[in-house]
Amino acid sequence: SNGGYMLFEKHEHVGANANASYAVYTEYDYDALRFDIQLDNGNSINLRMEPFSSHLLLKTWHHITGVYDGDFTHIYFDGVLVASSQTNSLGNIKNTNFPITMADAFGNVDHWDGDLDNISLWNTALTQSEIQNYMNCPPTGSESDLAGYWNFEQGSGTTALDQTSNG
């Protein structure tokens, strides 16, 4: 891979056997959106949606959701299911001590040159109906099973504040 834009990740970039939990990113040389997870049992699921650019409209906000339901991974784009993993892998998403990062880059690509807003991390698999609901009415920060929520309304410089009590 020649690189891409990391939109949201808990991943350490230190080589082929990187310490990872999850990542949502674009893959430059494949025109793909990826949702990768590493499970605590050593298994991983790497889901790719291609071609990604055919779904994008310039100067338009888009909503991207990666879901792991305990068996399969799914990518929703603007509330519509666009990709699901073909094989299941049971397990819990691996926890690492590496921090969550947003709008990063890897490989031969500069950092993300776009806007991000209303990023949320959940301890439960959201349904399509819940995803569509949160697209129109973002979380407040106090919802059950909401592990993290960054609305980019508070903070300064390169720091966005988590709006949950988990922050």
Q: What is the pLDDT of residues 18-30, one digit of tens each?
A: 678 888 888 877 8
For the residues of 140-156, what is the DSSP string, one character each? -S--TTEEEEE-SSS--
- Map tokens 């999850």 to a residue: 22
> What pLDDT is attached to residue 67?
94
Report pTM. 0.84
- Interval 44-61: pLDDT, tens: 888 988 888 888 888 888
- Map tokens 């959701």 to a residue: 65
Edge-to-edge strand ranges of the sheet holding 44-49 = 44-49, 32-38, 20-27, 3-11, 101-107
Q: What residues are paired with 48 via a beta bridge?
A: 34
- Interval 133-163: pLDDT, tens: 999 999 999 999 998 888 877 667 777 777 8
CB within 8 A of 132, min separation 6: which ones?
79
